[in-house]
Amino acid sequence: MNRYIRVALVATLAVGALTLAGCSSVKAQSGGMALPKVWGYVAGANFAQLDVAADQSGAKTLVVKRVLAPTDAWIVVHLDDNGMPGKRVGLTHISKGESTDVKVRLAGVTTQKVIVAVHADKGTPGTFDFDMMKKAESADRPFFVNEKELATIVTVRGSAEKAAGETTMPVAP
């Protein structure tokens, strides 16, 4: 019986060492190398959902119709930088569970589209603990559902919108 205990102990230590090795590789990957496919918090589709109107042109406040979060969380809005999150232009805290008609004030929007994502509030409660340069090490990483980040692209500036300072002259009859 003593032999079986030793084998079980060695197996447990080996599994623990492999687990730690896997964790350290995620840290190495975020420091400039490609991140793994899922680098945030995995959630089931029944526990994490995001419903936002795809067109909110001219809005200074983005409205999330409905969000379901498995923990306290953040609605984060970034400029769309060719399909990737750019500068953060909006942030609102939400409580665990379902929230509807969540308003996120926007500031500094310079692109036609933004990316809206749901991040966990796992670090200091009520403080957004996320560093774009150290994504995998940040406490408040985004949720992933079915290996995809819980995020969507929303239009906030219409194509008919005029550039700053541009005016339209009335046409004479």
pLDDT per residue over 51-90, tens digit each?
999 999 888 999 999 999 999 999 999 999 998 999 999 9
- Asked if residues 71 and 122 have their Cβ atoms less than 8 Å apart, the reply is yes
- Please say whether the beta carbons of 107 and 4 come within 8 A: no
Residues 158, 159, 164, 165, Cα dihedral to 10°: -120
> Structure pTM?
0.72
- Give SS3 for 3: helix
pLDDT at 157: 84
**Residue-level pLDDT at 2:** 57
Q: Name the pairing type of β-strands 61-69 and 84-94.
A: unpaired
Cβ atoms of 140 and 125 within 8 Å: the answer is no
Find the length of the chain: 173
Topology of domain 41-155, per CATH? Immunoglobulin-like (2.60.40)
Share of the chain above pLDDT 70, in %: 70
| Cα–Cα distance for residue pair 88/60, rounded to 1 Å | 14
Task: Give φ, ψ of 141 to 5 degrees.
Answer: -80, 165
In order, the DSSP letters of 15-66 are HHHHHHHHHHHHHHHHTTSPPPS--SEE--TTT-EEEE-SB-TT-SEEEEEE
Comparing CA positions, the residue from 52, 53, 49 lying closest to residue 70 is: 49
Q: Which DSSP symbol is given to 42?
A: E
Give every strand in the sheet of 113-120, ordered side by side.
84-94, 73-81, 113-120, 151-155
Confidence band for 33, pLDDT divided at 50, 70 and 90:
low
Q: Which of 91, 87, 132, 92 is nearest to 110 (CA)?
A: 87
In tens, the pLDDT along 106-115 reads 999 999 999 9
* pLDDT on residue 37: 80
Q: Which amino acid is at 154?
A: V
The Cα 138–Cα 131 span in angstroms is 6
Amino acid at position 170, single letter: P
